[in-house]
């Protein structure tokens, strides 16, 4: 059951909603849950959460002229220019707080191939969780 909770926490924390999965990950690891399963579940949940952002970005421009659209045309253009400059490789940093979620959103807006998006995002997120768990294991 705690693996499901971790999956949901990781998924939600990767969306545009505020949240963090690291505290739960660390707690579960210190309680003796299997490190490999923790890594896999957190990575999968967090990567799929980023897929939600990608999907939102993919269809966001359909509503850009609505008054309720949360991004101004200037912000939209700035984000597109940024992603155009740094491109797909910036997805390796999609795990970063604050900037990671917009990176995945703009990958969708820029219609980056989904397979490339998924692979690079998963690599970055898997590496982050591996580092966290590895540090915990090394600290004893």
Structure confidence at residue 117 (pLDDT): 98
Residue 135: pLDDT band (50, 70, 90) is very high
Query: Over pLDDT 90: what percentage of the chain?
Result: 64
Q: How far is CA 114 from CA 43, 120, 132, in A?
A: 17, 10, 27
36-77 pLDDT, tens digit each: 999 999 999 999 999 999 999 998 888 888 888 777 888 888
- Nearest Cα to Cα of residue 108 among 69, 64, 72, 59: 59
Burial class (CB in 10 A: 0-12, 13-18, 19+), 114: middle
- Nearest Cα to Cα of residue 14 among 118, 114, 85, 113: 118
Domain limits, the chain: 2-139
For residue 111, give both structure tokens.
């219609």
């Amino acid at each position: 059951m705690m693996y499901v909770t971790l999956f949901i926490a990781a998924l939600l924390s990767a969306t545009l909603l505020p949240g963090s999965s690291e505290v739960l990950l660390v707690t579960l690891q210190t309680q003796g849950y299997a490190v490999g399963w923790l890594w896999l579940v957190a990575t999968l949940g967090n990567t799929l959460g980023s897929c939600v952002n990608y999907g939102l970005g993919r269809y966001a421009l359909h509503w850009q002229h609505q008054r309720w659209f949360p991004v101004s045309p200037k912000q939209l253009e700035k984000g597109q220019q940024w992603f155009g400059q740094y491109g797909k490789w910036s997805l390796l940093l999609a795990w970063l707080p604050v900037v990671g979620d917009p990176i995945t959103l703009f990958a969708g807006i820029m219609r980056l191939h989904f397979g490339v998006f998924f692979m690079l995002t998963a690599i970055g997120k898997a590496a982050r969780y591996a580092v966290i768990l590895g540090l915990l294991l090394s600290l004893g």
